[in-house]
Each structure stands twice: as structure tokens, then as C-alpha cells.
């Protein structure tokens, strides 16, 4: 056999192999909910990450109520794994019947909102307004069932405030910090002046709290055009946080090894903390007894994080999946999830539940965390617009702040570099 | 196949019965096919697999690199060389290229030097040889992510082990995560930790193939240990060294795990201090979901590795030729020499056959 003939047949074989793979990938499509037999035995797959608080007992409860349904629960190791999996399969097949997404992926998910089954319109009033608004696409469809939220408060160390001669009682601290960010930074300056130690953990984390209160920070909601570099609000926040950071920041990059060490070492007196941050603090500083949480957040309310359950529109059991997602995010189940994993509920009714309101946190000196974060959730009044390029621009901004914090550049150089980086996005 | 079945009708009358048949039997034909075709069939699974999972993605990447590609909807718009110009005009590309080569040099050079010396030590007659030899391979068995986790803890800026140690002996702390060169050293340390043992074992194997007579002769001649190492061991290692250099070059240009795990974000540092090409490629593809740009970058990386590979090949051939040849002659010189020798021989034999010549 000549080598050319061999080559030709090999290519043909390869082409067959490739098209067979493609065909295999395309089959199994369709399905839908045309012929719904409510008693037909079906298997529903639920895919989540981290800990949503969906215990086996909780899922068993649903299976007992609906004997024809078997639920298979898959938990991805990290939310990054889940994210990669989600976008690889979204336009294709292979996703679970119910897929959890994080609020951070929403800008991208929104671009493909037509591939997801919308939440029935009569359910939308169950959630907090801003939770619904974040996941509503331009056509007015809500594409995710809200699970938890991350309303933000301020965590502080009583021993450090005491050393600075400041009040340590949560109510007094809340009163001290009530106001806008200038108040927070001026109290911080007093603290720094009297102790010489840092007031907050990092410029990046503080910036994140501030920028989340800006309605349209980086992109024009109407046109999607990038306005980040010319938006005076962004520049003001940038300058304000870096002015304060020069003296008040511990310069610890969030989630770094030093930052985790700082949680236990008392490197700084306060930090912005969403509800889920309490677990991060208690987990990394188990021996510290002086962390506490105050019912206050500078400049109003803020939300950091949270998730949704989505139902891919091309799944085999869309209607049944919607029913399950509905059940999983209903007030009772949200409270159960809160009890098992501390995920803070997003349903209006759940926020009034006595189990939630009466819950306290032993580590945080028995702070009434349920009541505090309910107040904080109700205080959120701005839903920041996050378009297609939001996270790229925001990541570049976080790096710009870090460059100033670690002394690589001065604020102006870092800003200029950020501007040139943003110009290359898009 | 069909033509051979149709033809015998015309051929048959020409043959005389009883003689060895001109027509080849099917069994014979089959065995001839077997001889010619079977090797290709035996190796074909690899190539079929390679075409599907290797060549096809490479070609597909090339197609996507000219497009504004949407992964989810599997569709794209042809935009020509725009992605390539975007990559080449982005300052991050050049920083990433610089970092890649810097980390590569900082890891490969000390790594190979240390590996040779450790191999030379292991080559000595020591107790518990196998224990020590296995010992050097242990870091290689560790998962790179685990290595990176431990080392990034050591190289933390404020509470890291290294900086604590430096502070205790009065040296100012090194800014491991803000100074580009410091971060390269830290990452190169992780790479060295992992790969030195691996290279040591390969070099050790080569060292053991060196005939012991050389050393005995050298000892008799009065050469010391160091002289023996530089005059016998190192020159004999040359072909193995080339192999080790090439493999570590390829590995070095694709360095990913260590820089990715060096900080919590995996984006290569706030000022791209330790951004490598593969890390940037990953972040464009899986972070920003911009597969057109990632594909263009992948092809640029491919071309870079190709160029380095060609340079490696040229250098290797140069070195190997001087290794394998007798003296410093090129192939043409050798051929000319042998032709001249043949001519001399022929002339001699002609001269010998002429009767008039006197016997010397």
C-alpha cells in the first residue's frame, strides 16, 4: 500500500471517528414536557458546589412526598469546576436537570438566558426584589430560583477596639459606624492614630463593598458600552479607598496565606463581612474569642455573593425539575438549609421565620446573626449592573489596587495601567 | 483485487500444465499482503487516535483562532488575523514571554547542575544505595498542586517561613509576591524541588553505563576525583544531557501548575509578575471565555516551541556529530577521504597487474 493511499484512508477513518463523536454528542436532545405523566418514575439530577445545605434527609423528604421521583445530588469540588462544566455543556447537553450557579457568573449566564427555562411568573414575588432583579434578563424572564444571599455587615475585634479606647458593644459600634464610607474611614483614622495598627484588611475587599453600591459602575446598562475609565464614581471610590488604605489597611490580599493568618493574628480591627464570611473567620481563627459583628454597613446595604438554581431548557424533565427547584428554594427548605450549612435565605417569608430571627452565633459572642443579617438584607437598595465585561474590568481593578498596596506602583501609575488594560478588553 | 480475479481467463492458456504456475495463489498473495500491510495495521490505532484526539483539535484550534468564537452556542464569526494582532499588541504577552523564559532558565540551569552532582554522589559506592536513589525521586511523586501549596505557604510575604527565617537572622523580608524576580525564584524553587530528582535518576543511569575501566585507568594515571568527574563523567554524559535539556525545555515553556498555585487568584500576579504564557492562555480561555484569542495564543506558543525545537535540534546535531565521528571531519570530508583511498587502491592494483613492474 502506498503511503499516500494509507494517508488518505487514515484521514477518512479519522473523519468518521470525529463525526461519530459529534453525532453521539447531538443525540439525546429534545425530550421536553409534552407528555407529562405525573406518576411516571423519573430521576432528577441536582448539581451544586460547596455546601448548599441540601442534606440527604432534606432530599429524602421530597422523594417521600413524590414517590415517583428519585433525586441524584452531585456536588462539584469547587465552584470553578462547576462553572467550567456549566458553560461547556450549556449550549449542548449533559447538564443536570437542576444546575446551581453563583451570582458571579450571572453576567455570562444572562447572555444565554434563552437556553434556560424561566421561573414561572407567579413565583417571583417570593424573593427579595433585588435578588429577583439580578437574575432577570432583558426580556423580563427570571432565569434562576434564588437560594442564598450574602448581605454584608461589619465584623470587628472587641479587644482591638478596646485597646484604642473605642466602644466594643455591638450596638455602640453600629452607632459609631453608621453613615457613609467617609464615616468608616474617619473612625478608622482615629483608630490608627491611637494604636498605630491597621483598621481594615485590604483595599481590594473594601473597594468591593463600595463598588457594589454603584448602580452602573463599569458598563452602560442601556448600550453595554464600557464606561469604567471615564466614570467619575469609579475614580472617586478608587481614590477614597487608596487614600484610606495608605494608613489604615493591613495590606493583606484577600484569600492569601497572609490574610488567613491575619484573621487569627489581629492584624486589623474590622472587616466587611457577608453572612457566609462568619464561617471563614471562625474556621481560620478558632482560638480567637473576640470577633464580633455589628449591625451596620457603611453607605447603606450591600450584598456579596449568593446563588441560584437554574433549569436548562433542553433537559429531559424540565417541568419536574422546575417543581423540585421551586420546592428547594421555598421558605421551609431555605430555613433547613440555613440550619445545616448557614446559607442565608433569600425568600421574604423565610426572612421573617422565627428560627432565623432567633439564631445566634456562639463564636461571635452569641451575636444575633439571624436578626442582624435580615436587617442588612432589607437594607440593600442598589442592584449593580453587571454586563458582559464586568468581571474582567473588576479583576483588573482589584489588581490595580493590589499594585498600590504592595508598593509596586503609586496610585496614578496603577490607575493609568488599569485604563490601558480596560482599553484592551472588549 | 477485482482485476486479478478477472484476468486468469486470458492468462491460463499460455501456461503449460505441470510447470510452476505463473498465477499466484490467493494464500500466497495474502501472505504477501500480510507482510506489507500488517505493520501499518498494527501501528494504525495510535495514528487513528492521534488524528482524532491530536491533529483534529490542532487544526480546529487554528480555525477558531481566526474567529470570534462563542463556546456555548458553538458558532463564530470569521475575523481574520484580529486575534493574533490583539495578542501580539497586548503588553501582557511580552511580559508573559519574559516570565516564561526567566522561570525556565532559573529552574533548568540550577536544576541540571544540581542533578549532575547528586547523580555523581549516588554513583559512588555508598551504603543503602537504593534508599538514597528512591529518596531523590520522592518529590517527583508529589502532586504539583501539593508542592505549590506548601511552597506558597513558605513564600508568603508576611508570615511565610522563609521571610520569618530571614528576619530572625536580620535580613529584610523579600517581597515574594510583588517583585517579579523574587517571584520567579520562588516558582523556580518549586519546579526544582519537583524535577531535580527525576533528572538525577536519568543522569545516574547514564553514569552507570560509563565503563569503570576509564576510572581505573585515570586513577592509575594519578587523576583525582574532581579531575575524573570533569574529564570522564561529564563528557560521557553528553547525549543524555541533551535529552534532559530538551525535555526540560519543553516542560519549562509549558510551565503552568506552579505559577497558577502561587497565589489565591491564579492570574499571574497584580502586575503580571509571574504570568506565564500557558497561564495567560488558560485565563483567556477559561476565565474570560474568549476562545478565539486563546486559540490564537495557543498557536503563537506552538510556533515559539517549534522555533526553540529547531534551535535545539541544530545544537543537538552539532554536538552529537562531534561525539560520534572520528576526529573533527565533516561527512563530506570523510567521503572524499574514502574515495581517495579507493582510487589509490585501484591505482595500486592496476600497477600490480602490469608485469613490467619490479617487485619491491
Report the residue of chain A nearest B291, measured CA to CA. A88
Whether residue A1 is contained in a domain is answered as: no
pLDDT at B1 over 50: no
Place of cell 453521539: A24
- Where does the pLDDT of residue B18 fall: very low under 50, low under 70, confident under 90, or very high at 90 and above? low
Which one of B37, B55, B175 has the shortest CB-CB distance to A406? B175
Which one of B159, B270, B286 has the shortest CB-CB distance to A261? B159
Whether residue B294 is contained in a domain is answered as: no
Which of the two residues, A26 and B131, has the higher pLDDT score? B131
Distance from CA of A263 to the nearest CA of B (A): 12
Please state the rounded mean pLDDT for residues B274-303: 91
**pLDDT at res. B267:** 86
pLDDT at A37 over 70: no
- Could you tell me if A18 and A158 lie in one domain? no
Whether residue B254 is contained in a domain is answered as: yes
Please state the rounded mean pLDDT for residues A65-88: 90
Which of the two residues, B349 and A229, has the higher pLDDT score? A229
**pLDDT at res. A92:** 86
Domain that holds residue A180: 151-303+383-423
Distance from CA of B115 to the nearest CA of A (A): 31
**pLDDT at res. A36:** 53
Q: How many interchain CB pairs under 8 A, A with B?
A: 91
- Could you tell me if A116 and A235 lie in one domain? no
Q: Which of A112-116, A120-124, A366-370, B350-354 is least confident?
A: B350-354
pLDDT at A209 over 90: yes
Place of cell 474570560: B288
Q: What percent of chain B has pLDDT over 90?
A: 34
Which one of B40, B51, B178 has the shortest CB-CB distance to A1? B40
Cβ pair A112:B157 closer than 8 A:
no
Report the residue of chain B nearest A391, measured CA to CA. B288
- Where does the pLDDT of residue B219 fall: very low under 50, low under 70, confident under 90, or very high at 90 and above? very high
A1 interfaces chain B, CB cutoff of 8 Å? yes
Cβ pair B51:A395 closer than 8 A:
no
Please state the rounded mean pLDDT for residues B285-299: 90
**pLDDT at res. B49:** 92
pLDDT at B211 over 80: yes
Report the residue of chain B nearest A262, measured CA to CA. B159
pLDDT at B5 over 70: no
Q: Read off the CATH number of the domain in which A356 is found.
A: 3.40.190.10
The CA–CA distances, whole Å, from B106 to B140, B203, B247 equal: 18, 20, 15
Whether residue A373 is contained in a domain is answered as: no
Q: Read off the CATH number of the domain in which B208 is found.
A: 1.10.3720.10
pLDDT at A395 over 80: yes
A413 interfaces chain B, CB cutoff of 8 Å? no
- Per-residue pLDDT tens digits for B251-272: 888 899 889 988 878 888 888 9
* Helix extents (H) in A157-252: 158-163, 170-177, 181-195, 203-211, 232-248
pLDDT at A5 over 60: no
- Where does the pLDDT of residue B242 fall: very low under 50, low under 70, confident under 90, or very high at 90 and above? confident
Which one of A14, A88, A92 has the shortest CB-CB distance to B51? A14
Whether residue A211 is contained in a domain is answered as: yes
- Could you tell me if A142 and A15 lie in one domain? yes
Q: Which of A7-21, B53-67, B140-154 has the highest mean pLDDT?
A: B53-67
- Per-residue pLDDT tens digits for A244-290: 999 999 998 888 888 988 999 899 999 999 988 998 899 899 999 99
- Per-residue pLDDT tens digits for A291-305: 999 999 998 889 998
Q: How many domains does chain A have?
A: 2
Query: What is the C-alpha to C-alpha distance for residues A49 and A400, in angstroms, rounded to an integer?
Result: 30
Cβ pair A253:B263 closer than 8 A:
yes
A90 interfaces chain B, CB cutoff of 8 Å? yes
Buried b (16+ CB within 10 A) or exposed e, B229-261: beebbeebbeebbbebbbebbeebbbbebbbbb
Final residue in a domain of this structure, among A341, A366, A391? A366
* Residues of chain B positioned with their CB less than 8 A from the CB of A254: 264
- Could you tell me if A160 and A222 lie in one domain? yes
Torsion, CA B105, CA B107, CA B112, CA B115, rounded to 10: 170
Whether residue A5 is contained in a domain is answered as: no
Whether residue A130 is contained in a domain is answered as: yes
Which one of B47, B72, B160 has the shortest CB-CB distance to A10? B47
- Could you tell me if A205 and A323 lie in one domain? no
* Residues of chain B positioned with their CB less than 8 A from the CB of A88: 71
- Pick the closest to residue A221 from A110, A83, A304, A87 (CA basis): A110
Cβ pair B73:A91 closer than 8 A:
yes
Number of Cβ within 10 Å of residue A402's Cβ equals 26
Q: Which of B32, B43, B50, B158 best tests the A interface by mutation, with the highest count of A CBs <10 A?
A: B158
**pLDDT at res. B237:** 87
- The three-point CA angle B186-B87-A424 to 5° equals 95
Distance from CA of A345 to the nearest CA of B (A): 28
- Could you tell me if A290 and A329 lie in one domain? no
pLDDT at B13 over 50: no
Whether residue A2 is contained in a domain is answered as: no
- Could you tell me if A91 and A214 lie in one domain? no
**pLDDT at res. A208:** 92
**pLDDT at res. A34:** 44
Cβ pair B160:A91 closer than 8 A:
no
**pLDDT at res. A28:** 38
Q: How many domains does chain B have?
A: 1
What are the backbone angles phi and psi of residue A86, rounded to the nearest 5°?
-60, -50
- The three-point CA angle A112-A114-A117 to 5° equals 115
The pLDDT mean for chain B works out to 83
Please state the rounded mean pLDDT for residues A316-343: 92
Domain that holds residue B178: 90-289
Which of the two residues, B314 and A165, has the higher pLDDT score? A165
Please state the rounded mean pLDDT for residues B278-301: 91
**pLDDT at res. A198:** 94
- Could you tell me if A332 and A408 lie in one domain? no
* Residues of chain A positioned with their CB less than 8 A from the CB of B90: 424
Distance from CA of B344 to the nearest CA of A (A): 43
- Could you tell me if A161 and A246 lie in one domain? yes
Under DSSP, is residue B106 helix (H, G, I), strand (E, B) or coil?
helix
Q: Which of B43, B159, B273 best tests the A interface by mutation, with the highest count of A CBs <10 A?
A: B159
Report the residue of chain B nearest A390, measured CA to CA. B288
Cβ pair A406:B158 closer than 8 A:
no
Which one of B37, B152, B269 has the shortest CB-CB distance to A257? B152
Whether residue B150 is contained in a domain is answered as: yes
- Where does the pLDDT of residue A7 fall: very low under 50, low under 70, confident under 90, or very high at 90 and above? very low
B156 interfaces chain A, CB cutoff of 8 Å? yes
Please state the rounded mean pLDDT for residues B21-25: 65
pLDDT at B129 over 70: yes
**pLDDT at res. A96:** 94
- Could you tell me if A218 and A236 lie in one domain? yes
B37 interfaces chain A, CB cutoff of 8 Å? yes
Please state the rounded mean pLDDT for residues A233-242: 95
A138's CB contacts (< 8 A; 6+ apart) are none
B177 interfaces chain A, CB cutoff of 8 Å? yes
Whether residue A371 is contained in a domain is answered as: no
Q: Which of A242, A398, A408 best tests the B interface by mutation, with the highest count of B CBs <10 A?
A: A408
Distance from CA of B251 to the nearest CA of A (A): 25
Number of Cβ within 10 Å of residue B160's Cβ equals 23
pLDDT at B244 over 90: no
- Could you tell me if A100 and A157 lie in one domain? no
Q: What percent of chain A has pLDDT over 70?
A: 91
Cβ pair A14:B52 closer than 8 A:
yes
Query: What is the C-alpha to C-alpha distance for residues B253 and B270, in angstroms, rounded to an integer?
Result: 22
Query: What is the C-alpha to C-alpha distance for residues A186 and A233, in angstroms, rounded to an integer?
Result: 20
B160 interfaces chain A, CB cutoff of 8 Å? yes
**pLDDT at res. B7:** 46
Under DSSP, is residue B24 helix (H, G, I), strand (E, B) or coil?
coil
**pLDDT at res. B348:** 76
Please state the rounded mean pLDDT for residues B92-116: 92
Supply the pTM of this predicted model: 0.77
**pLDDT at res. A27:** 38
Report the residue of chain B nearest A401, measured CA to CA. B270
Q: Which of A3-17, A134-148, A240-254 is least confident?
A: A3-17
- Could you tell me if A291 and A404 lie in one domain? yes
Amino acid at each position: 500500500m502506498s503511503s499516500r493511499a494509507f494517508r488518505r484512508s487514515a484521514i477518512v477513518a479519522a473523519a468518521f471517528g470525529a463525526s461519530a463523536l459529534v453525532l453521539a454528542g447531538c443525540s439525546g436532545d429534545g425530550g421536553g414536557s409534552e407528555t407529562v405523566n405525573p406518576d411516571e418514575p423519573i430521576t432528577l439530577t441536582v448539581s451544586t458546589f460547596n455546601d448548599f445545605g441540601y442534606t440527604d434527609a432534606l432530599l429524602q423528604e421530597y422523594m417521600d412526598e413524590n414517590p415517583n421521583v428519585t433525586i441524584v445530588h452531585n456536588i462539584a469540588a469547587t465552584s470553578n469546576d462547576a462553572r467550567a462544566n456549566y458553560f461547556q455543556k450549556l449550549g449542548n447537553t449533559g447538564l443536570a436537570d437542576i444546575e446551581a450557579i453563583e451570582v458571579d457568573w450571572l453576567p455570562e449566564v444572562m447572555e444565554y438566558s434563552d437556553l434556560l427555562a424561566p421561573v414561572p411568573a407567579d413565583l417571583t414575588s417570593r424573593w427579595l426584589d433585588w435578588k429577583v432583579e439580578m437574575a432577570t434578563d432583558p426580556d423580563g424572564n427570571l432565569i434562576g430560583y434564588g437560594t442564598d444571599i450574602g448581605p454584608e455587615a461589619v465584623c470587628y475585634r472587641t479587644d482591638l477596639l478596646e485597646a484604642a479606647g473605642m466602644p466594643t458593644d455591638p450596638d455602640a459600634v453600629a452607632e459609631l459606624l453608621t453613615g457613609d464610607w467617609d464615616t468608616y474611614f474617619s473612625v478608622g483614622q482615629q483608630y490608627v492614630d491611637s494604636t498605630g495598627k491597621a483598621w481594615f484588611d485590604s483595599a481590594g475587599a473594601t473597594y468591593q463593598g463600595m463598588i457594589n453600591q454603584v448602580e452602573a459602575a463599569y458598563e452602560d446598562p442601556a448600550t453595554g458600552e464600557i464606561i469604567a475609565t471615564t466614570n467619575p464614581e469609579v475614580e472617586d471610590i478608587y481614590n477614597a479607598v487608596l487614600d484610606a488604605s495608605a494608613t489604615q489597611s493591613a495590606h493583606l490580599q484577600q484569600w492569601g496565606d497572609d490574610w488567613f493568618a491575619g484573621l487569627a493574628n489581629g492584624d486589623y480591627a474590622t472587616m466587611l463581612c457577608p453572612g457566609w464570611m462568619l464561617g471563614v473567620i471562625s474556621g481560620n481563627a478558632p482560638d480567637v474569642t473576640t470577633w464580633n459583628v455589628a449591625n451596620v454597613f457603611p453607605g447603606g446595604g450591600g450584598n456579596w455573593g449568593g446563588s441560584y438554581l437554574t433549569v436548562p431548557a433542553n433537559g429531559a424533565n424540565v417541568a419536574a425539575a422546575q417543581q423540585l427547584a421551586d420546592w428547594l428554594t421555598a421558605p421551609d427548605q431555605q430555613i433547613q438549609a440555613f440550619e445545616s450549612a448557614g446559607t442565608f435565605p433569600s425568600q421574604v417569608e423565610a426572612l421573617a421565620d422565627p428560627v432565623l430571627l432567633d439564631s445566634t452565633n456562639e463564636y461571635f459572642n452569641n451575636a444575633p446573626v439571624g436578626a442582624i443579617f435580615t436587617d442588612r438584607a432589607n437594607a440593600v437598595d442598589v442592584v449593580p449592573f453587571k454586563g458582559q465585561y464586568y468581571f474582567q474590568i473588576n479583576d483588573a481593578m482589584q489588581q490595580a489596587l493590589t499594585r498600590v498596596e504592595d508598593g509596586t506602583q503609586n496610585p496614578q501609575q496603577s490607575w493609568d495601567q488599569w485604563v490601558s488594560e480596560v482599553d484592551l478588553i472588549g | 483485487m477485482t482485476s486479478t480475479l478477472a484476468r486468469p481467463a486470458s492468462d491460463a492458456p499460455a501456461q503449460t500444465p505441470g510447470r510452476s504456475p505463473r498465477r499466484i495463489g490467493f494464500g500466497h498473495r495474502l501472505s504477501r499482503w500480510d507482510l506489507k500491510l500488517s505493520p501499518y495495521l498494527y501501528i494504525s490505532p495510535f495514528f487513528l487516535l492521534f488524528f482524532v484526539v491530536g491533529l483534529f483539535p490542532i487544526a480546529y484550534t487554528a480555525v477558531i483562532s481566526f474567529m470570534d468564537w462563542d463556546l456555548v452556542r458553538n458558532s463564530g464569526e470569521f475575523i481574520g488575523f484580529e486575534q493574533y494582532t490583539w495578542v501580539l499588541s497586548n503588553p501582557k504577552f511580552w511580559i508573559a514571554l519574559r516570565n516564561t523564559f526567566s522561570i525556565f532558565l532559573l529552574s533548568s540551569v540550577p536544576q541540571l547542575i544540581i542533578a549532575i552532582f547528586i547523580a555523581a554522589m549516588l554513583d559512588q559506592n555508598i551504603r543503602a544505595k537504593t534508599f538514597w536513589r528512591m529518596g531523590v525521586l520522592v518529590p517527583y511523586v508529589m502532586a504539583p498542586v501539593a508542592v505549590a501549596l506548601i511552597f506558597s505557604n513558605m513564600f508568603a510575604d508576611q508570615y511565610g517561613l522563609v521571610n520569618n527565617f530571614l528576619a530572625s537572622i536580620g535580613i529584610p523580608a523579600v517581597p515574594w509576591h510583588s517583585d517579579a524576580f523574587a517571584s520567579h525564584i520562588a516558582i523556580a524553587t518549586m519546579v526544582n524541588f519537583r524535577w531535580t530528582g527525576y533528572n538525577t535518576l536519568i543522569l545516574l543511569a547514564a553514569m552507570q553505563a560509563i565503563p569503570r575501566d576509564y576510572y581505573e585507568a585515570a586513577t592509575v594515571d594519578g587523576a583525582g576525583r574532581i579531575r575524573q568527574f570533569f574529564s570522564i563523567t561529564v563528557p560521557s554524559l553528553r547525549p543524555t544531557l541533551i535529552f534532559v535539556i530538551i525535555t526540560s525545555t519543553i516542560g519549562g515553556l509549558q510551565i503552568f501548575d506552579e505559577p497558577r498555585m502561587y497565589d489565591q487568584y491564579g492570574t499571574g500576579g497584580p502586575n503580571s509578575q509571574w504570568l506565564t504564557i500557558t497561564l495567560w492562555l488558560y485565563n483567556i480561555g477559561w476565565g474570560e471565555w474568549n476562545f478565539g484569542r486563546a486559540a490564537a495564543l495557543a498557536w503563537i506558543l506552538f510556533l515559539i516551541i517549534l522555533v526553540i525545537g529547531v534551535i535545539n535540534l541544530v545544537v543537538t546535531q552539532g554536538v552529537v556529530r562531534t561525539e560520534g565521528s572520528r576526529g573533527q571531519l565533516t561527512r563530506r570530508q570523510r567521503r572524499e577521504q574514502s574515495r581517495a583511498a579507493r582510487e589509490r587502491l585501484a591505482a595500486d592494483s592496476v600497477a600490480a597487474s602490469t608485469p613490467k613492474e619490479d617487485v619491491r
